[in-house]
Amino acid sequence: MKIHKYDTVIVGAGGAGMRAAIEATKRSRTAVLTKLYPTRSHTGAAQGGMAAALANVEEDNWEWHTFDTVKGGDYLVDQDAAEILAKEAIDSVLDLEKMGLPFNRTPDGTIDQRRFGGHSRNHGEAPVRRSCYAADRTGHMILQTLYQNCVKEGVEFFNEFYVLDQLITEVDGVKHSAGVVAYELATGEIHVFQAKAVIYASGGTGKFFKVTSNAHTLTGDGQAAVYRRGLPLEDMEFFQFHPTGIWRMGILLTEGARGEGGILRNKDGERFMEKYAPVMKDLASRDVVSRSIYTEIREGRGCGPEGDHVYLDLTHLPPEQLDAKLPDITEFARTYLGIEPYTDPIPIQPTAHYAMGGIPTNVEGEVLSDNTTVVPGLYAAGEVACVSVHGANRLGTNSLLDINVFGRRAGIAAAEYSAKAGYVELPENPAEQVVNQVERLRNSTGTERVAAIRLELQECMDANVMVFRTEQTIKTAVEKIAELRERYKNVSVQDKGKRFNTDLLEAIELGNLLDLAEVMAVSALARKESRGGHYREDYPNRDDVNFMRHTMAYREVGEDGTESIRLDYKPVVQTRYQPMERKY
């Protein structure tokens, strides 16, 4: 075991982690621990753009953007946070441009902007061009630009270091962050990082679904680490299903395709979104479009022999426009489906995409241990966190924005904290839990296989807690997850070695997915209303009287060692906007 000491430790090197690292490295001695080489992070898969009311191509302002974000989130958004997001969006985009990001340009040479779902002029009048983009590879450009600037700033990376535990020490009865414990993939060695401040920026949990746009590595590692140490997770029942994943594969096809004029059609060729969202049509918010697609499918208007998908039609757009604005997604259709998007529509279905919930933070990125108490020295930003700027449904292009605005804020706040705070003492035997976990898995002679349990989990989640949910389906999921958690205790790995043991890594990741799937299902069962991405067929309406509040889920361990989940609730921060019926 090795012990390292840094002022600031950042867990994860996607957009949020690297944006934080650029700030933290300027102000404090910083280490970035990342499971993947930084440029492998899933920020790079984001396509369509980053929202900011630059008003480069038409009238726009941050207040309209704030409203759209609050409405898009079905009024579960904390409105103070949304206002910060929309206001700081403008400088965030300009900062990236100054760092070198090659945005597409207008004829005047300014940053070009395009339409995106749920973004409107003047509180819903019509779609507005707010998304700043670089073809359909905006996330790739952001990830590369941030990595380039990390190289420039001399950020210190520990690549392929997998953080498995959050260290907490109580000082005068208050939980403080003391550091993290990491597993080095190349050697199997355990490392303890003592740090004054820790920032989680480790991304989402999408791999508990089968049809998902998420990378294999998005297994909720950060959420699981803090949750197991008794800290709450907020709004975990809210998961976004992106309307246009490649049929069966789940690979993302950007909403920018509809922003450029693409149309969703059912088997009769009908532009069905006109029925569900007369103003915004194909550019309604993602939860609305995903439900509309499944409604078409369930009512027998789906495409294909099984009627299990619909079409994204780009055939009316000029090939030059597809080549210039949507080169990557048209190539995906050619590579993975053998389809030519110039002439044939692309079969799509909703795909699990984004966790709105996560580790609760305030607007400085400080992690909360209950509704109001800050955990000194602990921060989170990006998809792992819940500020909450996305509420019950995130708008497209607001996640690339979120990682830049709140990654930056968390990086500054953490480094400023570590500049004035001292080290908190490490708990006795800090690596004990991780050593035990790793050794138990490595030495297990159990008969259960990781891949089998993971597949059953994913199929259960797709079938029961996806776009449509009922009391019955969610209960089915809760029971199945409990069974899988029991079986997981008997899981073993075939690779017993120390060197690059990805077999062991997958086993650990599955443990995280199972814990978080349970939190999601239990949180969803208790929310007896429909709001944003959480749609209950048995409670089809939003219930602001009882449920305009955030879910806070805590892991409890009884005296006999039994684990359970305790749910509590936190009020939504409301400033300017009263909840209204949501129409697009």
Q: Is 108 in the site for another protein (CB under 8 A)?
A: yes
Q: Quick one: CA dihedral 484, 486, 488, 490, positive or negative?
A: negative
- Give the 3-state secondary structure of residue 564: strand
C-alpha–C-alpha distance, residues 490 and 480, integer Å: 16
Q: Is 489 in the site for another protein (CB under 8 A)?
A: no
Considering only residues 112 through 171, tell me which ones interact with another protein, judged by CB under 8 A.
Answer: 134, 137, 140-141, 144, 148-149, 151-152
Fill in the DSSP letter of residue 358: B
3-state secondary structure 18-34: HHHHHHHHHHCCEEEEE
Taking CB under 8 A as the criterion, the residue among 173, 300, 305, 540 binding another protein is 305
Other CB atoms within a 10 A radius of the CB of residue 416 amount to 17
Taking CB under 8 A as the criterion, the residue among 500, 554, 569, 577 binding another protein is 500
Q: Is 332 in the site for another protein (CB under 8 A)?
A: yes
User: Would residue 40 show up in a list of annotated catalytic residues for this protein?
Assistant: no
Residue that has been written with the tokens 């990781």 in this structure: 450
Taking CB under 8 A as the criterion, the residue among 97, 364, 370, 416 binding another protein is 97
Q: Is 435 in the site for another protein (CB under 8 A)?
A: no
The terminus-to-terminus CA distance of the chain in angstroms comes to 56
Q: Which residue, 433 or 470, is less far from another protein as judged by CB?
A: 470
User: 178-217 mask for another protein (x: CB under 8 A)?
Assistant: --------x-----------------------xx---xxx
Q: Whats the size of the chain, residue-wise?
A: 584
Phi and psi at 540, nearest 5°, equal -75, -10
Active-site choice (19, 228, 265, 286): 286
CB 48 within 8 A of CB 133: yes
Q: Which residue, 48 or 347, is less far from another protein as judged by CB?
A: 347
Tokens at residue 444, please? 């297990």
Tokens at residue 307, please? 């009627």
- E-strand ranges in 201-252 read 233-234, 239-246
| Least distance to another protein, CB of residue 215, Å | 4
| Least distance to another protein, CB of residue 341, Å | 11
Taking CB under 8 A as the criterion, the residue among 268, 300, 420, 451 binding another protein is 451
Stretch that binds another protein, among 69-77, 193-201, 409-417, 491-499 (CB under 8 A): 491-499
Q: Is 443 in the site for another protein (CB under 8 A)?
A: no
Taking CB under 8 A as the criterion, the residue among 75, 103, 183, 539 binding another protein is 103
Q: Is 337 in the site for another protein (CB under 8 A)?
A: yes
Considering only residues 235 through 274, tell me which ones interact with another protein, judged by CB under 8 A.
Answer: 247-249, 251
Alpha-helical regions (H) of 52-118 = 62-72, 79-99
> What are the beta bridge partners of residue 310?
348
Q: Which residue, 137 or 542, is less far from another protein as judged by CB?
A: 137
The residues assigned a catalytic role are 286
